[in-house]
Amino acid sequence: MNNIYFFDTYALIEIIRGSQSYKPFLDCKIITTILNLAELNYNLKKEMSKEMANEHTEKFYEFAISVSIEDIKQAIDLKSLHRNLSIPDAIGYTIAKKHSVKFLTGDNDFEGMDNVEFVK
């Protein structure tokens, strides 16, 4: 197993929930973006207290890498082809490819796509 993955919001939530399917990835190096953390924080606040959601989100902040304008332009081209993708997901997928790491997700919109480690 590669030891660096781009964790999308789905993967981060599954890690927080303690999903058995994501346990093999606990020792891997994580990269993500601040946009995924925003999406994470939003989704967690629907399930738990504001304080707990903020605490979980802050734990992943150190893994957020920067996004360039070129990344955004490429991601929006991808989103134009795959309209169901969220903007954070399209950017994350683009970042994963740029850094030659697998995009870790269980999001059905990515099933069967190149460079994706699809885990349910």
4-118: CATH topology is Rossmann fold (3.40.50)
**Which pLDDT score is estimated for 2?**
64
Average pLDDT over residues 19-40: 97
The domain locations on the chain are 4-118
pTM: 0.95
Residues in CB range of 50: below 8 A, 6 or more apart: none
pLDDT tier for residue 115 given thresholds of 50, 70 and 90: very high
76-109 tens-digit pLDDT: 999 999 999 999 999 999 999 999 999 999 999 9
Element (H, E) at 116: strand 116-118
**Which pLDDT score is estimated for 39?**
96
Residue 1 has pLDDT above 70, yes or no: no
Structure-block tokens of residue 60: 């992943």
43-70 tens-digit pLDDT: 999 999 999 999 999 999 999 999 999 9
Q: Which amino acid is at 16?
A: I
Residues in CB range of 22: below 8 A, 6 or more apart: 11, 14, 15, 119
Q: Is 74 left (phi over 0), alpha (psi -120 to 50) or beta?
A: alpha
- Average pLDDT score over the chain: 97
pLDDT tier for residue 13 given thresholds of 50, 70 and 90: very high
